[in-house]
Every structure is written in structure tokens, then in C-alpha cells.
Amino acid sequence: MPNREFLEEYPLYRKFKMDLPEVETQLEKPAIHMHCPVCGSEQTFNADSFVFTSGVVLRKCVQKVPYRCASCGEFDRVFLLKFDPEENYVMKVGQEPPWDISLDRDLEKMLGDHADYYKKGLICESQSYGIGAFSYYRRVVEEIIDELLDEIADLMTGGERDRYLEALEQTKKTKITHDKIDLVKDLLPPILRPNEMNPLSVLHDVLSQGLHRESDEHCIELAMTVREALVFLVNQVAASRAAAASFTESMRKLLDRRTK
Ligand SMILES: [Zn+2]
């Protein structure tokens, strides 16, 4: 088997390029970590066996590969995989349970009326329709960018916030999403920049490239990048606000008790 990321995250029909071994028994079968509805949580799944009907030598074929939850031993995730040793790739041609398009609460709330476009993006992505997925995600970013940038201001204080608000004012003068992002991306607070990775810079780079004559295959990578940067920002902003609110509340209680 190729690798964990391929099994956990690749959509159907996206080719995973690899040098396939000549003999099927040399294929690795990595454990994966995905949600188990029986356990109600994220669990390790193992492929204890998968039998190739093609015999020992690996040739062009489609195989059913069941993965079982190591915790309950009851729930199976099944992948249908196509192997092509001539062109050196493997891809999913089926998956059960299917790709999940349900959204978490913070994301659904922030996306509001635009959640539909986001879900359509996920559906396109699940089928490797890269151009479609990218277009839907770009639309979502365009429609929520003002609100998102406004909310980021609430996470800052002092001079940092003043500089950000000044740049934010400038963003209202343009209608072009990547220009807006360009104005504020370098002023992003550290809490939104994990390991010096700046999700706004990532969005800016991808969105300013546009689609031009890119292939579905290339666009699926761009689409996944946009989705991940967007989901990170939305969730992190929501989590930081919630943490700040709860901290303020508990401090207030503590101080009230002291003054009494
Ligand atoms: Zn389980």
C-alpha cells in the first residue's frame, strides 16, 4: 500500500504516483487513523489481509481492501483500489463509508449562507474535479473574506491592532480578494501563524495565480490548499475568541469575589 495520507485523505480518482513493486506481497499496508462510528471516536484501522486475485505478480487490477477498527474489531472501512504498474500509480475508485461532507459547528456558523458552496466544493473534491472544487472554494473565500479579516482584528491589542486596523481600512477600497489579503497578511498575529506558516500568505499565493489553463490534477492540489488554510483560519479565530471570552469571564468572577 502506498501511504497513510493517500488512504486517509486522497479523493477518488486522484492518482498517487509510486513505483509499484513487482510482487504484491511487497506492498506495505500502513495503519490508518480515521473516525469509527461504533467507538464514536478517531481510531487506528489495520488491514490484516487483502487477497489479490491476480496472483503474486502485481498487474493492472482493482482490489477491495478492507481496514478494520483495532479498538472495537467490528467496524470496517473498505477501499477499492486500482493498481497500474505500467503507469506507476494507484488510485481509489471506491470508498465506504464515503467521503464525509458534514461540517463542524464553527465552520458552518462562519460560512453561514455560503456553506452550500463549501459543500459543493467538497463534493467536487471527492470526485477529483479540481477545477470545480477550486472555483467553489475561491468563491467562499471571496464572500467571507471581509468578515474574516474583521474578526482577526478582535484577536489583537495595542499597537499591533492599530497597525492592523489601518491596513484593514485600506482593504475596504478594493474588491479584489488577493489584494485585500496582501494588505494585511504580514500583520497576522502569531496565534494564527503556526510554525511561522502564514495561512493568509498561502491563500494570497494560490488565489493570485488563478486557474488559467491548469489541469484538474493541478487544481485539486490548489483546492486542498485553499480549503485547509480557510478551515484553519476560521477554526482558530473561533477557538481564540471562545478561549478569550472564557478567560475574561473566569477572571471577572475571581476579581468580584476578591472585592466582596
Ligand atoms: Zn471502532
Residue 197 burial (CB count, 10 A): 11
**110, 148 in Cβ contact below 8 A?**
yes
Q: 101: CA distance to ligand 1 center in Å?
A: 21
The pLDDT of residue 51 is above 70: no
Asked if residue 210 has pLDDT above 70, the reply is no
Whole-number percent of the chain with pLDDT over 70: 95
Selection from 190, 178, 174, 221 nearest residue 17 by Cα: 221
Cβ–Cβ < 8 Å for 211, 135 = yes
Q: Does position 43 have pLDDT exceeding 90, yes or no?
A: yes
CA–centroid distance, residue 90 to ligand 1 (Å):
27
pLDDT band at 57 (very low <50, low <70, confident <90, very high): confident
CA dihedral (96, 97, 102, 105) positive or negative: negative
Instruction: Check residues 204 and 57 and name the one with the higher pLDDT.
Output: 204
Instruction: Provide the pLDDT confidence category of residue 174 given band limits of 50, 70 and 90.
Output: very high
Distance 106 CA to ligand 1 centre (A): 26
Residue 1 Cα to ligand 1 middle (Å): 22
Give, as residue ranges, everything with CB less than 5 Å from ion ligand 1: 36, 38-39, 43, 69, 71-72, 75
- At residue 214 the predicted structure's pLDDT band, cuts being 50, 70 and 90, is confident
> What cell numbers appear for 217 in the block?
490534477
Residues 48, 63: Cα–Cα separation, whole Å: 15
149 closest CA partner among 112, 104, 203? 203
Mean pLDDT throughout 185-190? 91
- Cα 81 to averaged position of ligand 1 atoms, centre (Å): 23
pTM for the structure as a whole: 0.78
